[in-house]
């Protein structure tokens, strides 16, 4: 169990956590303020990846691709929220789930019609194609850039939520939306802003992961499932919970797949360890989620009221 493997897996865990935070931060705000369960959030992640990949291929600029992906998903989020989802805020969660799940299926087919069923690929930017030295170990520069991007978003959201009037309204809305509305705040506009912010973060996450995976229809569903796990573990409506929950899930999901298999190979035959290890590792985060729900259903880092 070498030092280089430990450092690489630790950084991979943080990198996955950064991506999960980009997804979970917006989704937990949407659920915390609007009490709205949006299963179409993964589709926005997918659209961000496709738009960014297309713009990067046309312009050759990854920076322009980032701007395009974030702008396109924010605009899409505003359109969907104002035309359809706004009608469901006062409806039962089952109605919200059914509607947004339908949107997810529609989005997959629309993407398949526009871009085709074949995967789309985007290259890592030239300036980030090398490696960086961390603790004396080489690590891909692009993956490290994702970590930095995630930390910058964490800082930006912290400043927005805790240091601005908009952030004050968002926090108040998460605590008591009806009271905020009664005080004269345009809660519909606030909902739209939050939805657009969440959509933009999801689009940014989709673009950042695009050079690491194939961009294809349905790519948003797996990360949506992990995002929901993050929210349950961290605490609904809590940005702090989304951050720590994303790091926890990233650590367990990434490191668990490596070290659990290594441990099992020391105990069982190679064929058994290779077959059982990944299966058990993939269940670890769901086992943790079940434990959290059983003993602390509000999450490990719930919203601080008052």
* The CATH number of the domain covering residues in 3-295: 1.10.3470
Burial (CB count <10 Å: 0-12, 13-18, 19+), residue 45: buried
Contact in structure between 274 and 268 (CB atoms under 8 Å):
no
Distinct helix (H) and strand (E) counts, the chain: 10, 2
Burial (CB count <10 Å: 0-12, 13-18, 19+), residue 134: middle
- pTM comes to 0.89
Q: What is the pLDDT of residue 1?
A: 53
What is the average pLDDT across 207-216?
91
Strands (DSSP E) found in 64-178:
131-134, 137-140
> pLDDT tens across 15-44, in order?
999 999 988 888 887 887 777 888 899 999
> What are the Cα distances from residue 204, in Å, to 18, 142, 151, 188, 254?
11, 14, 13, 24, 21
Cα–Cα distance for residue pair 231/20, rounded to 1 Å = 10
> pLDDT tens across 283-304, in order?
888 999 999 999 998 888 887 6
Nearest to 223 by CA among 197, 198, 202, 192: 202
Q: Work out the pLDDT band at 69, boundaries 50, 70, 90.
A: very high
Q: What is the DSSP letter of 122?
A: -
Mean pLDDT of the chain, nearest integer: 86
Burial (CB count <10 Å: 0-12, 13-18, 19+), residue 112: middle
Q: Which residues, including other chains, have CB under 8 Å from residue 97's CB and lie 6 or more apart?
A: 37, 39
Please work out, in degrees rounded to the nearest 5, the angle formed at the alpha carbon of residue 219 by the alpha carbons of 213 and 220.
Answer: 125
Ranges of each domain in the chain: 3-295
Burial (CB count <10 Å: 0-12, 13-18, 19+), residue 259: middle
> pLDDT tens across 247-288, in order?
999 888 887 777 777 776 677 676 666 667 667 777 888 999
Contact in structure between 245 and 251 (CB atoms under 8 Å):
no
Cα–Cα distance for residue pair 202/224, rounded to 1 Å = 10
């Amino acid at each position: 169990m070498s030092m280089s493997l430990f450092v690489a897996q630790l950084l991979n865990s943080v990198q996955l956590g950064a991506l999960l935070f980009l997804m979970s931060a917006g989704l937990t705000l949407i659920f915390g303020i609007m009490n709205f369960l949006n299963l179409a959030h993964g589709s926005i992640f997918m659209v961000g990846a496709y738009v960014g990949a297309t713009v990067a291929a046309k312009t050759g600029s990854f920076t322009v691709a980032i701007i395009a992906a974030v702008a396109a998903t924010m605009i899409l989020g505003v359109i969907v929220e104002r035309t359809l989802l706004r009608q469901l805020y006062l409806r039962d969660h089952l109605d919200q789930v059914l509607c947004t799940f339908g949107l997810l299926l529609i989005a997959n087919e629309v993407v398949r019609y526009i871009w085709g069923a074949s995967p789309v690929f985007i290259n890592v930017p030239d300036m980030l194609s090398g490696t960086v030295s961390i603790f004396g170990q080489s690590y891909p520069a692009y993956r490290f850039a994702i970590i930095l991007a995630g930390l910058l978003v964490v800082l930006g959201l912290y400043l927005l939520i805790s240091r601005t009037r908009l952030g004050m309204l968002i926090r108040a809305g998460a605590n008591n939306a009806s009271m905020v509305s009664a005080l004269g705040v345009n809660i519909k506009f606030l909902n739209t802003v939050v939805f657009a912010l969440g959509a933009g973060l999801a689009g940014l996450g989709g673009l950042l992961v695009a050079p690491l995976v194939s961009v294809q229809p349905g790519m948003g569903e797996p990360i949506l499932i992990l995002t929901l796990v993050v929210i349950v573990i961290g605490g609904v409506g809590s940005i702090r919970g989304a951050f720590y929950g994303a790091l926890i899930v990233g650590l367990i999901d990434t490191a668990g797949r490596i070290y659990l298999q290594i441990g099992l190979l020391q105990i069982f035959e190679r064929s058994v360890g290779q077959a059982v290890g990944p299966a058990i590792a993939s269940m670890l985060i769901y086992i943790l989620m079940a434990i959290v729900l059983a003993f602390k259903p509000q999450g490990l880092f719930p919203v601080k009221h008052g």
